[in-house]
Structure 1
Amino acid sequence: MMHSSSETTYQAAKAVAKTIEEHFRNQLTKARAQGNNELAPEPSAAVIESIIDTLFWSSLRREEGVSPKISLAYVSPEQAGAPIIFEHRLELTSAVLAKLSPAVERPGVHLGVWQDEGKLYIWGATRVIPSLCFVLDVSAPALLVIKHRRIGGVGKFANVAVLKGDQVKVINEQAASLPDCPSLLATLLNFSSSYSDHDGVNILVQLAVSMRAHGRGGTLLIVQSGTDSWKKSIIHPILYSIAPAFHGLADLMRQEQSERSKSIWQGSLRNAVEGVAGLTAVDGATIITNEYELLAFGAKIGRPEGKPPIDKVVFTEPIVGNQPTTLSPAQRGGTRHLSAAQFVQDQPNAFALVASQDGAFTIYAWSACDEVVYAHRVDTLLL
């Protein structure tokens, strides 16, 4: 058993360790009760605290002028599939991690961390980890993301908490049960069973991640298929209108479930997602249907004649302790956010995904219960 180190100096590690321990204990207990046996080990609060503390200080180092990007997985070599195992164990220190980071910064590669006689060490690297494995990523200096691999192993890892400097944001697992919760937010927050979605993939989640990744900011509008009422909220002519609608993503999603497990299909899906997400970097909004048909990009949003300007938006963030706040849309974000909120108010069957250049990501959706536009900030779920 590992004991908490008195040398821990990153106070956020101490503050969050017990909460994270409880999260993993609850998830693993539920998974075992449902008959899942191929599960990761349960991390103790002491292990969590020590790993967070070490990784935080390593994130502030620079190796040859570059800040490290590292992913650590708390797993033994025996539970990792086809791992690279070092002949000699490496001490888990910030200096060692900074040196190793260039070798493991590619997506999907994790440094394996385990313990022996109460001391943590690095044993090697792996791409394969068991379900519900404790993973800690360095996304940027002083920005750490705690996550775990979903049961089933396909799709984005589930984020548990985000630590940025002395700020700790623990994901609120109950936010998805709120009335009128948008489908994208519900998918991102679906921690009740820690399973991936039934299709093994969620297009909107992947689009959101890809939109955020290009770093230019952008707007994606999702409208109802088979209707053109959305055109009333777009300034004409649309410079980059698509006719007929492009069905690349839609055709992939119509393929049989058996095809979706094949690497060719998954590669085609990644390319299609990146292609659509890339269009959002163009000034204006990209428009797709709820069946993933591409209709336009670079579209300018306008308020239809006779419609009132939006004067309030309810802002939320799926973080423990966050309370919804009603503000003018101009108080949170610039023109891109204001126009997206206006579009959703005028087209209540649609919703908007807005990526900011600084990495913020917001879902705008109409609440039929409260008859107001909600702005759900979800970048903590996309890291």
Structure 2
Amino acid sequence: MNPVAPGAYAQSMQQESTYQAARAVAKAVESHFAQHRAEARQNGPEAALAPAPPAHVIEAILDAAFWASLRKEEGQSPKISLAYLSPEMAGKPLVFEHRFPLTPTILAKLAPGVERPGIHLGVWYEADHLYIWGTTQEVMSYGFVVDVSEPGLLVVKHRRGDGFGKFANVAVLKGDQVKLINEESASLPDCPGLLKPLLNLSAPFSGDSTVNVLVQLAVSMRAHQRGGTLLVVPAEATTWQDSIIKPILYSVSPAFSNLSGLMQQPDDEKKKGPWLAAVRQEVGALAGLTAIDGATIINDRHELLAFGTKIGRAYGHDPVEQMMITEPIVGNEGRVIHPSQNGGTRHLSAAQFVYDQRDALALVASQDGRFTVFSWSSCEEMVHAHRIDSLLL
């Protein structure tokens, strides 16, 4: 490995972190990675798995990333991704001639050149010191990654075992708040299919492409930062129209089926680059429509039916008076609240729609980044609001 840059020094892992949330979460994150790596090793060669970082390494990386997030370089806050691996584990990495210390100052300096999605700064250790060695676009299965997307917000995640789809979120740190993702939420009887691949952190993401498209739509809706509502209704049903105020100004006839056509391609086609690129393009276009005032409506075959629609209470139905709200994080307990306590008009109308149309889903993005999935709970006999923004970061 190349020497340390002149005048620089690597960060000693013996130094005590000053970001208390990093220390609080490090042991739990260490256990998560050790457990999943051990389980994955039983199903494949150990050489294909990323190293599981110890707690003091996790704490040091989180500490440096947090303080870097609060700095600015030329007026811009850093947007960086750190991956814990050596250059030899990184495929075809870009390796710096000199190592750089893992410090907030260096991270802030490097951030403008590595903020594009898919680029990670490689972090490794030697002689009990952490250092930055270069960049990589390849991360091994279950590789430890820390994303910094805004000041004070860190997301710990890992690459899934099959290498497809969104990285699995493990923990979210925002200031002094720590949220550990609760994988056991996926086993609840009323957990919507949309949530299961996000919560099952060890499962392949590419198994159910229908569900995965809804996940991609959720991520894209949140990304445009304008807020929006997406209603998913059964393909053969028409009763959903009872909950939409007439006339429907932006109805689509016949239903727009580009995305649906892609989803009907043979399974072997769905693993190829052109298919994946086409799906991303259609998902982005569909999610973009949710930024228009009103709800966008698709059926469960991914056909676009209408957008910019206004939700109203179905004739003869009572107003929704209560709902269950949960968030899939460790320690969270469900609360029964009035829907008006969960947000504004967008959230209340989505809760009413699902209350009236119990075989439908409503996905609601807020401008502030909150994301909620509304479904009908047959166990609780009420609307269930699932807060999932911690899974989509």
Which range, TM-score by smaller chain? over 0.9
Q: Deviations over 1:28-64 (max 9, x none)?
A: 0000012243000010001000000000000000000
Partner of 1:27: 36
Letter in 2 for 1:23: H
Q: Name the SS of the counterpart of 1:12 in structure 2.
A: helix
Q: Deviations over 1:217-276 (max 9, x none)?
A: 000000001111111111111111000001111101111122122221111111100000
Quote the sequence identity (%).
61
How far, CA to CA, are the matches of 1:48 and 1:222 in structure 2?
A: 40
Give the superposition deviation at 1:200: 6.2
Q: Deviations over 1:143-188 (max 9, x none)?
A: 0000000011110000000000000000001001111111111121
Letter in 1 for 2:171: A
Q: 1:128 aligns with which of 131, 134, 138?
A: 138
Q: Unaligned 5+ residue runs, structure 2?
A: 1-10
Q: 1:195 aligns with which of 186, 201, 204?
A: 204
After TM superposition, the score normalised by the length of structure 2 is 0.95
Give the superposition deviation at 1:197: 3.0
Q: Which runs of 4+ in 1 moved over 6 A?
A: none
Partner of 1:9: 18
After TM superposition, the score normalised by the length of structure 1 is 0.98
Q: Deviations over 1:52-82 (max 9, x none)?
A: 0000000000000000000000011111111
Q: Aligned runs of 1:348-359 on 2, under 5 Å? A: 348-359=358-369
Letter in 1 for 2:284: E
Q: Deviations over 1:83-108 (max 9, x none)?
A: 10111111111100000000100001
How far, CA to CA, are the matches of 2:208 and 2:299 in structure 1?
A: 19
Q: Aligned runs of 1:66-215 on 2, under 5 Å? A: 66-191=76-201, 193-199=202-208, 202-215=212-225
Q: Aligned runs of 1:326-345 on 2, under 5 Å? A: 326-345=336-355
Q: Aligned runs of 1:254-265 on 2, under 5 Å? A: 254-265=264-275
Q: Name the SS of the counterpart of 1:24 in structure 2.
A: helix
1:284 aligns with 2:301: no
Equivalent pairs, count: 381
Letter in 1 for 2:19: Y
Q: 2:316 aligns with which of 282, 292, 306?
A: 306
1:162·1:168 contact (CA, 8 Å) conserved in 2? yes
Give the superposition deviation at 1:195: 2.2
How far, CA to CA, are the matches of 2:205 and 2:370 in structure 1?
A: 24
1:56 aligns with 2:66: yes
Give the superposition deviation at 1:290: 1.0
1:155·1:200 contact (CA, 8 Å) conserved in 2? no
Q: Unaligned 5+ residue runs, structure 1?
A: none
Q: Name the SS of the counterpart of 1:27 in structure 2.
A: helix
Partner of 1:251: 261
How far, CA to CA, are the matches of 2:221 and 2:76 in structure 1?
A: 24
How far, CA to CA, are the matches of 2:285 and 2:361 in structure 1?
A: 20
Q: Name the SS of the counterpart of 1:265 in structure 2.
A: helix
Q: Deviations over 1:335-371 (max 9, x none)?
A: 0000000000000000100000000000000001111
2:186·2:196 contact (CA, 8 Å) conserved in 1? yes
Give the superposition deviation at 1:199: 4.7
How far, CA to CA, are the matches of 2:311 and 2:334 in structure 1?
A: 26
2:13·2:129 contact (CA, 8 Å) conserved in 1? no
How far, CA to CA, are the matches of 1:194 and 1:49 in structure 2?
A: 26
Per the alignment, do residues 233 and 181 of structure 1 end up closer, same or farther by CA in structure 2, a change over 3 Å counting? Answer: same
Per the alignment, do residues 3 and 60 of structure 1 end up closer, same or farther by CA in structure 2, a change over 3 Å counting? Answer: closer
The CA RMSD over aligned residues, in Å, is: 1.2
